[in-house]
């Protein structure tokens, strides 16, 4: 049975609130028709605040209105995370949006081996007939078929357009520091530890990370999970924990935690649990650390912080197998859905068609700093071409994208995380095994009765 959408009861109030707050809002009517704004038909787009992407979107929307003067785009942005999710749920269920963004593509859909798992919002919306089927739209053919299959397809139908990918498992590194000290990009775990020791011996802090926001701590762990769990097949390991064949305190899972604890205890900048995410790029850009644990999307921020800085990006080498380590782990980013019952479905499809044109998409993806999900797109980015592309051959999705959690699982496993912030000295657990044992108990306690 399809679950009821929990935000339905909130939709009316939140929709009214958003309508009141939106700076460019124009009155529209429902029931599949668009009320003119003057002589124009309004296309309502909902997105979260993200400066560089928002600016690109504004430019694309103006170009769309210029080419199709019968339309007016109402582009509304909210705060990210929970604020956006509330707005998203409210407006799609109230049929008050034509195009809405989602994060990370389609994911976390329950499998036959995940009894009791939560059905994600996007799947509830499709099953409820709220999302338009794009399968027959010509513009879908402009996108990479593999990316559409992985991030935009459900029950053999296309419902979403993933607009780019990002690498999450890498470390930015200061090329000048490496060159000045005769250091090379490591390809194995042993080489990585020696690199960190060499940096410390020269009085250079090896790694910066924004521990205050907690989630950045997950980024290097994604490499460890992808390359270690299941012998390098984390999907197999994830299915195993549901079936009782693997466990959060088995040898591979403990190895992941122990390696991250090694980095946290010995090589990360002092006081990293007090560094917020907004501050981390400048710490790296000013040479206070040799490396920074961060996602590839922050390359423009680093370049802005220090335009003269020469920096690269390499995957955290999780194992002693250099070939296995030589690929990034990441996710899809902004993903567009068209509402089936929004006020202007026809306009939504026209906008997606326009957005899919390579010249328009190129503007967007260059501004966003994403890895393109259309083929033959030139981003003119030295960072993407030289630092990311060599490691994209065996690109894998991150654990948090693949892991289907049990409902009401404990805090040490919540939000598809491994939560190394609970490890000492910042946290309560002195060893990786202690945290792993608690995680396994919480997993078992959350099993469906």
Local structure of residue 135 (DSSP, 8 states) = T
Q: Which region holds residue 214: left if phi is over 0, alpha if psi is between -120 and 50, else beta?
A: left
Helices (H), 22-117: 51-67, 81-93
Q: Rg of the chain over CA atoms, in angstroms?
A: 23
SS3 219: helix
**How do strand 396-397 and strand 329-332 relate by DSSP bridges?**
parallel
pLDDT of residue 35: 52
Q: Give 250-273 as a 3 state SS string.
A: CHHHHHHHHHHHHHHHHCECCCHH
- How sure is the predictor about 228, in pLDDT bands with cuts at 50, 70 and 90? very high
Cα(423)–Cα(360) distance, rounded to whole angstroms?
A: 46
The token duo for 438 is: 């608690």
pLDDT of residue 37: 53
- How sure is the predictor about 393, in pLDDT bands with cuts at 50, 70 and 90? confident
Cα(71)–Cα(355) distance, rounded to whole angstroms?
A: 14
Least confident of 187-196, 240-249, 421-430: 421-430
pLDDT, tens digit, for every residue of 262-319? Answer: 999 999 999 999 999 989 999 999 999 999 999 998 898 899 899 999 999 999 999 9
- The better pLDDT of the pair 89, 301 is held by 89
Least confident of 188-202, 315-329, 412-426: 412-426
Those residues with Cβ within 8 angstroms of residue 118's Cβ, 6 or more apart along the chain or in another chain: 3, 108, 110, 405, 407
Percent of the chain with pLDDT over 70: 92
pLDDT, tens digit, for every residue of 140-187? Answer: 999 999 899 989 999 999 999 999 999 999 999 999 999 999 999 999
Across residues 332-356, what is the average pLDDT?
Answer: 97
In the predicted model, what is the mean pLDDT of the chain? 90
């Amino acid at each position: 049975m399809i679950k009821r959408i929990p935000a339905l009861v909130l939709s009316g109030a939140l929709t009214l609130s958003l309508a009141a707050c939106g700076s460019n809002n124009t009155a529209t009517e429902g029931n599949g028709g668009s009320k003119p704004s003057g002589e124009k038909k309004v296309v309502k787009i909902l997105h979260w605040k993200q400066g560089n992407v928002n600016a690109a979107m504004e430019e694309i929307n103006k170009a769309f209105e210029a080419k199709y003067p019968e339309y007016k785009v109402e582009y509304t942005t909210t705060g990210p995370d929970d604020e956006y999710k509330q707005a998203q749920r409210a407006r799609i269920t109230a049929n008050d949006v034509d195009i809405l963004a989602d994060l990370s593509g389609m994911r976390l859909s329950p499998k036959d081996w995940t009894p009791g798992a939560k059905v994600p919002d996007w799947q509830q919306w499709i099953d409820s007939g709220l999302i338009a089927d794009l399968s027959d739209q010509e513009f879908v053919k402009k996108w990479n078929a593999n990316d559409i299959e992985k991030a935009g397809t459900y029950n053999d139908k296309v419902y979403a357009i993933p607009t780019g990918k990002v690498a999450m498992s890498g470390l930015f590194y200061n090329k000048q520091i490496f060159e000045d000290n005769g250091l090379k990009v490591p390809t194995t775990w042993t080489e990585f530890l020696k690199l960190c020791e060499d940096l410390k011996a020269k009085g250079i802090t090896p790694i910066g990370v924004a521990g205050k926001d907690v989630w950045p701590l997950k980024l290097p762990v994604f490499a460890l999970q992808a390359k270690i769990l299941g012998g390098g097949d984390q999907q197999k390991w994830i299915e195993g924990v549901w079936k009782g064949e693997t466990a959060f305190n088995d040898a591979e899972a403990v190895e992941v935690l122990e390696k991250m604890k090694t980095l946290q205890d010995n090589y990360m900048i002092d006081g990293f649990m007090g560094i917020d995410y907004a501050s981390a790029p400048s710490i790296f850009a000013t040479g206070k650390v040799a490396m920074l644990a961060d996602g590839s999307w922050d390359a423009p921020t680093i370049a802005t912080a220090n335009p003269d800085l020469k920096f690269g990006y390499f995957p955290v080498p999780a194992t002693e197998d250099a070939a296995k380590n030589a690929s990034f782990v990441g996710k899809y980013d902004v993903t567009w859905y068209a509402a089936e019952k929004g006020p202007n479905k026809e306009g939504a499809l026209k906008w997606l068609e326009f957005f899919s044109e390579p010249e328009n998409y190129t503007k967007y993806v260059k501004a966003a700093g994403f890895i393109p999900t259309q083929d033959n797109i030139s981003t003119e980015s030295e960072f993407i071409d030289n630092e990311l592309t060599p490691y994209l051959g065996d690109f894998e999705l991150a654990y948090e994208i693949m892991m289907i959690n049990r409902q009401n699982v404990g805090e040490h496993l919540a939000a598809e995380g491994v939560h190394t912030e609970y490890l000492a000295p910042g946290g309560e657990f002195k060893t990786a095994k202690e945290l792993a044992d608690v995680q396994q108990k919480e997993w078992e306690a959350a099993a469906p009765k």
